Chains A and B, each alone.
Chain A
Amino acid sequence: MTDNIKCECGHLNHVGTVLCESCGKPLADDDGQGLLEMRYDGVARRSQKANPNVLDRIWNFFSSVKVAVYLIVITLVLASLGTILRQENTFYNPALTDMEKFYREEYGLFGQIYYSLGLSNMYESWWFRGLLLMIGTSLVICSLDRVLPLYRALSKQKIRKHLSFITRQRVALQTELDPSAGPADAWLERFAAALRARRYKVHMEDGALLAEKNRFSRWGPYINHIGLIIFLLATLLRTLLPGWSMEEDISFIEGETKAIAGTPYYLKIDKFVEEFYTEEDLHESMREKGVGMPKRFEAEATLYACLEEPCGQPGTLEELARHQIIINEPLKYDNLAIYLFYYEPTDQIVWMNLTLEERDTRKPLGQFELDMFNPAPVMQAGEYEIRVTDFFPEFIIRDGAPATKSREPRNPGVVLNIAGPGTPPEGYRYLFVPKLGIMEELEDDSYRLKAEPEGNFYLSLASVDDVRLAHYKTYLSVRSHEGMWMIWLGAAIFMIGVVMGFYWQHRRIWVRLDGQSLALGAHTNKNWMSLRREVADALTRSGMEADQKDLDNEVKRS
């Protein structure tokens, strides 16, 4: 315990204490005249010690407000540089793999320099993240370094302060009480009452007074720092922990069901609705252009869990949630949220209820449902058994044989085997392409059209209701909400701290009576003019005329 300073009042203070923790007398070397440095009430901060070792040096570095400001400024300058050219991650083209070439070609020499300096992928780079980490560290260390001593100082305040402590405050007054106005104690009581009326907590001792209000406001900055720390930690966790920041983009045609990779869920989009504003809703300038403005678009979405493999066939899925997804309202389930971000018109067949007919007579033989997304392998139409043996989403002829151009069911074609009364056991093989109106028999072993068809079948639709078309292709994004509560918690705590700190001020008034001599000092963390007015007002109420200008010690001392 050798690192202590003893004050003339008898109290032992830590090394680095500026004002005695007990009586407030200035301990440091000074000229005895200027205004007191009241920061943190003059207590020693953790970091101020003799002989700092490496650990101390690092700690001191991060506990400095100057360093913190430098970090903030460097961050904001660098962040601004990242907005000059588009960042790499805003290009969605998966074929774009050579970024260096792209930046050079698109933006010239400037682009090349931009890329090589690493500015084109700045916000996820290790150095930018490192910068944010340093700010986080600074938040933790700056706060710890100050809040504990400050708490100690503010909770153990003495009422009777040293004279020089009071007279060297920024708001101060020294005067003699008028004996004819009554005893000094009585005046003190009146003053205390005036202050209590202004919601001060007043403590009195023999001939001394301490009035304090809104101490809670001092904790504001520390609370908002805690909020920021939680926020930053949450963003870190979301980046590092697997599954916490999932991002899957999937496209759906109306009526389609697809698996969501990385989850046990399946999603189906039933119908997509697009509504435009009417002519009257739009203003002239838009009407002239003839451009429509969408009023509303929503996708009817259902989320399923898989009950048994293979999933997709009816009966294998269990419905979990249903929602009309619009752009500002995703489907939420558990920790997942599914967002609609894009759509485009299309024209595809989703489902058909087909009537099997005799080709020549058009006599109906039976009906069966053909699901274009997941055709059931075997279907029954009357007495006939229909097997789907091949499926071409976008039917074309290649090298004289049926093939598909892509995976999109823009022009579906199926190869069907129709077996039943009047057919050989293995049935007749047909190629059915509804959009092209093809219903032709194929050779058994190859996919060539049979020169002399033997079968006598045809497929048709009984009514318009027997076909379901998809008019829209929707693009949805599945994201994880894991850990988001922590982000909002951090933000909320930040707001509380910042409101506490900025919308209230911590004020204290000290009075010391030595016989008829009155010394008054007051301090606040901000808003001095208001404090002066308040003190002047209270003085006036207690019977002493005073103006806020008289209390301005800064003018007198400087």
Chain B
Amino acid sequence: MKKNKKIIQFAILLAVVVVGALTISDSLSGRSYNPPAAGDKAPDFTVKGLDGSTYRLSDFAGKTVVLNFWGSFCEPCVREMPLLQGVYEKHKDNNVVVLGSNLDEKLLTVQSFVERTGVTFPILLDHTDIQKKYGVIYYPTTFVIDPSGKVKYKKIGEITDARELERFF
């Protein structure tokens, strides 16, 4: 009888500790979300591209990733496209890849834009998933992510000089 009591008491207190740990760690892990900044780990994502294939950030481990968020309605985004295309072409054999993430515009719009501007780097069709994860509010926003998956640079606004990005390669 006594032994049963002890077991029950222990079991209950153990349950409390487990639940407590779960609750507190959940609180601490920030339901209040902090967007990744330089030094943070870049959140992984899975999304379909304009070319129909599926893209995951983890697929690019070992490469430097320039993740650019753009929209066809955003003038500075349009202006910096040639520069990004240039960086892509120059460094794609140096383990650097440029990804352009478009938030929720019509397929038609994106396709046409890509044709007109002549960009060849992969275009991702995001439906708020990546945007939320990266805390993107203003356009354009560009992240440089190093081969180990850490954010090295976050810029809000137009990139005017390729060296802004190149210094991280």
Residues 1-18 of B, flagged 1 when their CB comes within 8 A of A and 0 if not, give: 000011011101100100
Other than A239-B23, A390-B109, A393-B73, give 13 A-B pairs with Cβ distance below 8 A. A46-B5, A55-B10, A94-B137, A95-B137, A97-B35, A130-B23, A144-B8, A389-B112, A403-B75, A403-B78, A404-B109, A407-B73, A407-B104
Q: Please report whether the interface of chain A is mostly helix, strand, loop or mixed according to DSSP.
A: mixed
| CB proximity to A under 8 Å, residues B67-92 | 71-73, 75, 78
Query: Cα distance A133–B113 when bound, in Å?
Result: 54
Report the interface size class on chain B. Answer: 35 or more
Cβ of A88 < 8 Å from any Cβ of B?
yes
User: Are A406's CB and B73's CB within 8 A?
Assistant: yes
User: Are A390's CB and B108's CB within 8 A?
Assistant: yes
Cβ of A147 < 8 Å from any Cβ of B?
no
Cβ of A261 < 8 Å from any Cβ of B?
yes
Which listed residue (B27, B32, B72, B137) contacts A404, Cβ 8 A?
Answer: B72
User: Are A121's CB and B112's CB within 8 A?
Assistant: no
| CB proximity to A under 8 Å, residues B91-129 | 104-109, 112-113, 116, 127-129
Cβ of A392 < 8 Å from any Cβ of B?
yes
**Set of chain A residues within 8 Å of B35, measured between Cβ atoms:** 97
Query: Cα distance A59–B9 when bound, in Å?
Result: 7
User: Are B16's CB and A137's CB within 8 A?
Assistant: yes
Chain B: which residue is nearest A404 at the CB level? B73
User: Are A239's CB and B26's CB within 8 A?
Assistant: yes
User: Are B32's CB and A391's CB within 8 A?
Assistant: no
Residues 57-77 of A, flagged 1 when their CB comes within 8 A of B and 0 if not, give: 011000000000000000000
Cβ of B38 < 8 Å from any Cβ of A?
no
Cβ of B19 < 8 Å from any Cβ of A?
yes
Cβ of A196 < 8 Å from any Cβ of B?
no
Query: Cα distance A533–B73 when bound, in Å?
Result: 84
10 closest residue pairs by CB, A with B: A126-B27, A390-B112, A404-B73, A126-B24, A137-B16, A391-B108, A391-B109, A129-B23, A406-B73, A391-B106
Cβ of B20 < 8 Å from any Cβ of A?
yes
**Set of chain B residues within 8 Å of A377, measured between Cβ atoms:** 108
**Set of chain B residues within 8 Å of A310, measured between Cβ atoms:** 107
Contact A129 to B137, CB < 8 A, known contacts A141-B12, A391-B106, A391-B108: no
User: Are B107's CB and A133's CB within 8 A?
Assistant: no
Cβ of A537 < 8 Å from any Cβ of B?
no
Q: Report 20 cross-chain contacts, Cβ distance below 8 Å, ordered by A residue.
A: A55-B9, A59-B13, A97-B35, A124-B27, A124-B31, A124-B32, A130-B24, A133-B19, A133-B20, A133-B23, A136-B16, A236-B22, A240-B26, A261-B127, A261-B129, A375-B106, A404-B109, A405-B73, A407-B73, A407-B104
**Set of chain A residues within 8 Å of B71, measured between Cβ atoms:** 407
Which listed residue (B12, B26, B73, B112) contacts A394, Cβ 8 A?
Answer: B73
Query: Cα distance A405–B105 when bound, in Å?
Result: 12
Query: Cα distance A100–B151 when bound, in Å?
Result: 24
Query: Cα distance A391–B106 when bound, in Å?
Result: 8
Chain B: which residue is nearest A46 at the CB level? B5
Query: Cα distance A236–B18 when bound, in Å?
Result: 12
Query: Smallest distance from the beta carbon of B10 to chain A beta carbons, Å?
Result: 6
Cβ of A415 < 8 Å from any Cβ of B?
yes
Chain A: which residue is nearest B35 at the CB level? A97
**Set of chain A residues within 8 Å of B12, measured between Cβ atoms:** 140-141, 144
**Set of chain B residues within 8 Å of A133, measured between Cβ atoms:** 16, 19-20, 23
Query: Cα distance A464–B19 when bound, in Å?
Result: 63
**Set of chain B residues within 8 Å of A240, measured between Cβ atoms:** 22-23, 26
Query: Cα distance A406–B74 when bound, in Å?
Result: 8
Cβ of A174 < 8 Å from any Cβ of B?
no
User: Are A130's CB and B73's CB within 8 A?
Assistant: no
**Set of chain A residues within 8 Å of B107, measured between Cβ atoms:** 310
Query: Smallest distance from the beta carbon of A228 to chain B beta carbons, Å?
Result: 15
| CB proximity to A under 8 Å, residues B121-147 | 127-129, 135, 137
Query: Cα distance A173–B140 when bound, in Å?
Result: 89
Cβ of A153 < 8 Å from any Cβ of B?
no
* Residue with the highest number of chain B CB atoms closer than 10 Å, among A55, A137, A374, A388: A137
Cβ of A346 < 8 Å from any Cβ of B?
no
Cβ of A48 < 8 Å from any Cβ of B?
no
**Set of chain B residues within 8 Å of A124, measured between Cβ atoms:** 27, 31-32
Query: Smallest distance from the beta carbon of A126 to chain B beta carbons, Å?
Result: 4
Query: Smallest distance from the beta carbon of A191 to chain B beta carbons, Å?
Result: 40
Query: Cα distance A111–B26 when bound, in Å?
Result: 26
Query: Cα distance A403–B75 when bound, in Å?
Result: 9
Query: Cα distance A95–B78 when bound, in Å?
Result: 23
**Set of chain B residues within 8 Å of A295, measured between Cβ atoms:** none
Contact A58 to B5, CB < 8 A, known contacts A130-B23, A407-B71: no
**Set of chain B residues within 8 Å of A46, measured between Cβ atoms:** 5
Contact A236 to B23, CB < 8 A, known contacts A97-B35, A403-B72, A407-B71: yes
**Set of chain B residues within 8 Å of A136, measured between Cβ atoms:** 16
**Set of chain A residues within 8 Å of B6, measured between Cβ atoms:** 55
Query: Cα distance A4–B25 when bound, in Å?
Result: 45
Query: Smallest distance from the beta carbon of A360 to chain B beta carbons, Å?
Result: 30
**Set of chain B residues within 8 Å of A89, measured between Cβ atoms:** 32
Cβ of A125 < 8 Å from any Cβ of B?
yes
Query: Cα distance A97–B34 when bound, in Å?
Result: 8
Query: Smallest distance from the beta carbon of B136 to chain A beta carbons, Å?
Result: 10
Which listed residue (B16, B22, B27) contacts A125, Cβ 8 A?
Answer: B27
Query: Smallest distance from the beta carbon of A251 to chain B beta carbons, Å?
Result: 12
Chain A: which residue is nearest B31 at the CB level? A124
Query: Smallest distance from the beta carbon of A525 to chain B beta carbons, Å?
Result: 26
